[in-house]
Amino acid sequence: MDARKKRILVTGGAGFIGSHLCEQLLNDGHEVICLDNFFTGSKQKVVHLLDNPYFELVRHDIIMPYYIEVDEIYNLACPASPVHYQYNPIKTIKTSVMGSINMLGLAKRVKAKILQASTSEVYGDPELHPQPESYWGNVNPIGVRSCYDEGKRCAESLFVNYYSQNHVPIKIVRIFNTYGPKMEPDDGRVVSNFIVQALKNEDITIFGDGLQSRSFQYVDDLVEGFKRMMKTPDEFIGPVNIGNPNEFTMLELAQRIIELTGSRSKIVYLPLPEDDPIQRKPDISLAKEKLDGWEPKIQLEEGLTKTISYFDELLKIS
């Protein structure tokens, strides 16, 4: 095995983001072990990789220990959309907490570097805008979203304590809203919801007044941020925000998608869900400084066009 080829474990590797990461790591010449219990992931997302001799797919739940020799671990396993993580909240917490303990234990034993895919949800409904990594957040610890928010916050704590106590080389990234091909049409995320509704000429449902804002990042930009974070010196552990700082309201997003799809959809308004953040926007100055000048390359119109094309094909097949 040459010096740059690594054995890399990706937990949640058959999910939306994980499948893109597996593909990129293989393209970079690495050997990839994709671990997934298929709770929200799908074999379909990685089936095209199965013929690659350097790719291995393993059905496993990281709530249970897993033993393997690897150089690096990307810990992405966890339901990430409200529909999925609220479906089984105890399972969600277990994946974040027990799953992190198991993966950190593995990293400690085999001396692997491990990256935690954390989330902008650790900031809750932020009172500081945009959100820098130094902001501690405004989270409801007993709300409907707490299984995810607090699970991910606890995972970050576990990671930094394994680093300080056991010298495990860790990296923490906080992912902001990400979209792109391989999203599930029914995952409850706003981009996939709007695109599917628009392609079917159904009413586009906006929660609240539509003036709440988000920043939308195309998946390829996120994967590039992951890889750059993994290459940073061991003493830099993060957390680092990875997201697109361009901000759009839900209404602007819906109107943009209607235009790009040529849809006949009308916009309808529904009550805002509990604890839904009003604003979410990353401060990415730390990422630019530490990740070799990283910043998003694919802006909303280009990313939406690619994603709409994916869903258009998917809906034709189904």
> Which residues are designated catalytic?
148
d(CA 254, CA 190): 9
Q: Which residues contact 166 (CB under 8 A, 6 or more apart)?
A: 108
Taking CA atoms, 251 is separated from 20, 43, 286, 307, in Å, by 28, 34, 30, 18
Angle between helices 219-230 and 16-27 (to 10 degrees): 60
Structure tokens at 106: 């593995």
> What's the DSSP call for residue 18?
H
Residue 4: other Cβ atoms inside 10 A: 8
8 Å CB contact between 41 and 149: no
8 Å CB contact between 243 and 288: no
Q: Which residues contact 84 (CB under 8 A, 6 or more apart)?
A: 39, 40, 187, 188
Alpha helices in the chain (DSSP H): 16-27, 82-85, 89-110, 146-166, 190-199, 219-230, 250-261, 285-290, 300-317
